[in-house]
Amino acid sequence: MRIIGGQYRGKKLFSPDSDKVRPTSDRAREALFNILNSQLENPWSEYTLLDVFAGTGAFALEAISRGIKHVCLIDIDTKSLTKNVALFPAEQSKIMVKRADVSTLPVAEQPYDILFMDAPYNKGLSEVALINLHRQKWLKEGALCLIEVEKNEKIAVPSCYSVQNERKYGLAKVIFLKYESGETADEQR
């Protein structure tokens, strides 16, 4: 694993310590950042990124390499990502690591512009996380959300998100959503 673009291009990252962590491939990460580059209206330095089920932290660290203002990495097991975050000593003020279960997140200290989420495949965790991120105000209105799932996995997208696009990369599918706030059907009950 390595950083594929920006200031730290080519920098090697530690691979996961566990087979439970499944990093997004370099090829898919490069394609996703090319899509983001085409969709973002302002420079990276004006955006914040939330990386949920962060694993190794590769996606958020790629954003750091490209000059993003701030990233928050959330995972229940932060061992792999903490090792990789330590490889960026000059960027520590831009990086926040939270060891947490997304189903019990507190209210956010600040909302984020971009969400990248790569939950364990086929366990229903993406839906739970999307609802809780909404309830706990982790996303800005209009936030761009990239949700990685297994290529045949179906997810029920909460009504406060609208599907914009979807792309397949090998065994993975990335669903592009736009966060539109409002109430989810789950909250209306």
| Residue 18 included in any domain | no
| Residue 12 included in any domain | no
For residues 44 and 40, give the distance between their C-alpha atoms in angstroms, rounded to a whole number: 8
pLDDT of 99 strictly over 70: yes
Tell me what the pLDDT averaged over the chain comes to: 90
pLDDT at residue 187, as a whole number? 44
pLDDT at residue 161, as a whole number? 97
| Residue 81 included in any domain | yes
| Residue 110 included in any domain | yes
pLDDT at residue 129, as a whole number? 96
Cβ–Cβ under 8 Å, residues 78 and 14: no
pLDDT at residue 186, as a whole number? 46
For residues 119 and 180, give the distance between their C-alpha atoms in angstroms, rounded to a whole number: 21
Confidence of residue 184 (pLDDT cuts 50, 70, 90): very low
Q: Taking the model in full, what pTM does it have?
A: 0.91
Alpha-helix runs per DSSP H in the chain: 26-39, 58-65, 79-85, 125-135, 185-188
Cβ–Cβ under 8 Å, residues 5 and 62: yes
Show the domain range for 119. 26-188
| Residue 85 included in any domain | yes
pLDDT tens per residue, range 109-120: 999 999 999 999
pLDDT at residue 83, as a whole number? 95
| Residue 100 included in any domain | yes
Give which of 48, 53, 57 is closest to 13, Cα–Cα. 57
The domain total for the chain is 1
| Residue 73 included in any domain | yes
pLDDT at residue 189, as a whole number? 36
| CATH number, domain containing residue 150 | 3.40.50.150
Query: Quick one: average pLDDT of 35-49?
Result: 93
